[in-house]
Amino acid sequence: MPESKRSLGNSQTLWTELSALTFEAVEQAAGRATVIRFRLHNESISRGDVLVILEGADIRFHGMITSIDEGGWAVASDCRGSDLPAGIH
């Protein structure tokens, strides 16, 4: 089955605390990171799954994982509701 067909179906949600995540902003708007690149440590996560970044009870980022490279780096985008400061964290 082609790779694109295998990635369709039910998606998972990966959540993490902001303080536990190292990321860099790939794109930003108004000083907020809208697309981030981060190290993925969970091999069961795939393209199309959702990344939620929390700071306590507040959701700071909620976006879809759009790509994962062979080195274990993933890219996720939240173009509407991101509250993450842009930069490298």
Whether 74 has a pLDDT exceeding 90, the answer reads: yes
Please compute, for residue 34, the number of CA atoms within 13 A of its CA located in the half-sphere on the CB side: 8
CA 29 to CA 34: how far, in whole Å? 7
Angle at CA of residue 14, ends 12 and 20, nearest 5°: 175
Whether 4 has a pLDDT exceeding 60, the answer reads: no
pLDDT bin (cut points 50, 70, 90) of residue 3 is very low
- The pLDDT value recorded for residue 87 is 79
**3-class DSSP string for 71-88:** CCEEEEECCCCCCCECCE
Q: Looking at the chain, how many residues does it have?
A: 89
pTM: 0.84
Q: 7-59: per-residue pLDDT in tens?
A: 556 889 999 999 999 999 999 999 999 999 999 988 899 999 999 999 999 99
Inter-residue contact 13 to 45 (CB < 8 Å): no
Please compute, for residue 89, the number of CA atoms within 13 A of its CA located in the half-sphere on the CB side: 17
